[in-house]
Amino acid sequence: MNKIPVTPEGRPGIWLVEPSAVATWLETYPEDKIHNFICGSIMIGADWERASVIEHLGHPLTERVALMTGNAQSGNMGHALAVIHDNTLYAFDIGPITEADLEILP
């Protein structure tokens, strides 16, 4: 799989990424379903179709997208993709992501 271009967010293990870059990467993702959880007053988990995650990334209400590595990923129940959409945090389990998977931009 291709490396994902990211920029450091400022906190260890958190990388900002353009939604289109993650969407492109997910097009070759080997799984058809991607597990997620939605944070709120109650945590809800579900499996999404890969195409639905890609569509969610491109939605106009998607405000911020980040990838997590290391302890940040572990602290997010292993879910490496975080998407803030319409002021709600969605976390997706896209498998373990390490810095070796990233193209770190300045």
Average pLDDT, the chain: 93
Where does residue 70 fall: left (phi above 0), alpha (psi -120 to 50 degrees), or beta otherwise? Answer: left
Please list the alpha-helical segments (H only) found in 17-106.
19-26, 50-57, 70-74
Report the distance separating Cα 35 and Cα 52, nearest Å: 12
**Residue 94, domain extent:** 4-104
Pairwise CA distance, residues 104 & 57, whole Å: 20
For residue range 58-90, list pLDDT tens digits in order: 999 999 999 999 999 998 888 999 999 999 889
Give the count of domains, the chain. 1
Check residue 45 and give its pLDDT.
84
Read off the tokens for 91. 């976390």
- Kindly report the number of other CB atoms within 10 A of residue 56's CB atom: 19
